[in-house]
Amino acid sequence: MRLLGAVLAGGRSSRFGSDKALAVMPDGRILLEHAMAAIAPHVEAVVVCGRAMEGVTGLPDRPAPDMGPLGGLNAALHHAAGQGFDGVLTIGCDMPVYPAALAEALTADGAAVLKGQQLAGFWPASLAGELDAHLAEENNRSIYGWLERIGAQIVDRADIVLPNINRPEDLDGLRYQD
C-alpha cells in the first residue's frame, strides 16, 4: 500500500501562546521537524499541511484557510489521490513520535484514529470527495463529526502513548524525559 504522510500544522497554537510547530527542542530541531521525522519511516513521502516550509511539500488547507485539522486532511487526501497514493497517515505537528505499532494498528482496517489522539490517523485517499461534501455542509467542522460520518475505527491501545504538546510546560516536561 502506498502511503502519504501528512503533518497537520495549520493550527493557531492558542493554548501554547506562540507557534508551537516552531518550538525548538533540546537537539536544536523544531517540533515540526520531529513530527516529520517520526512519520517518515512509515510512508513513501511526507507533506506539511497548513503552512509553507522550505524544502518540504507544503499544502494549503482545502477548501480554505482556518478550517481546522479537516482542512489540512482534505488537502492531504486530494494530494494523495492525485499522486496515486492509497491513503494518508496523519500526525499533528505537536506529536514528536510515531511508533511502528501505531502505523500498523491504524492501517489494519479502513479509516482509523488513535483513541485520545484524533490527529494520529489513517485515511483512505478515496475519502477526498466525501470530505469535500462534509466541509461544504453546515456543521462545526469537528473532527469528531467527520469520524462519525465515515464510521472511522477508534484504535484503543494502552501500549501506544504519544506525547502531545499543547502548552509550553508540556514541552518542558518532554525535555526532562530526553
Apex 145 CA angle, 108 and 31, nearest 5 = 65
The residue that leads in pLDDT, 42 or 170, is 42
52 labelled as ligand-binding? no
Q: What is the model's pTM?
A: 0.90
Amino acid, single-letter form, for residue 176:
Y
* Domain count for the chain: 1
The confidence score (pLDDT) of residue 12 equals 61
The residue that leads in pLDDT, 149 or 138, is 149
Q: What gap in Å lies between CA 95 and CA 146, rounded to an integer?
A: 21
The confidence score (pLDDT) of residue 106 equals 97
The confidence score (pLDDT) of residue 177 equals 43
The residue that leads in pLDDT, 84 or 21, is 84
Average pLDDT of the segment spanning 7-33:
77
86 labelled as ligand-binding? no
66 labelled as ligand-binding? yes
92-125 pLDDT, tens digit per residue, is 998 899 999 999 999 998 999 999 999 999 999 9
Of 158, 151, 21, whose CA–CA distance to 96 is shortest?
Answer: 21
Q: What gap in Å lies between CA 48 and CA 124, rounded to an integer?
A: 18
- % the chain with pLDDT above 70: 90
Weakest-pLDDT range from 7-11, 40-44, 114-118, 163-167: 163-167
115 labelled as ligand-binding? no
Q: Is 169 helix (H, G, I), strand (E, B) or coil?
A: helix
Tell whether the model's pLDDT for residue 81 goes beyond 50. yes
- % the chain with pLDDT above 90: 67
Average pLDDT of the segment spanning 144-165:
91
Q: Please, are residues 19 and 35 in contact by the beta-carbon 8 Å criterion? A: no
CATH of the domain at 85: 3.90.550.10
CA distances from 151 to 13, 73, 133, 144, 146 (A): 28, 16, 16, 10, 8
Q: What gap in Å lies between CA 143 and CA 169, rounded to an integer?
A: 26
CA 38 to chain centre: 11
The confidence score (pLDDT) of residue 178 equals 37
Expressed as residue numbers, the domain containing 141 is 3-177
Checking DSSP bridges between strand 153-155 and strand 45-49, what pairing results, if any? unpaired
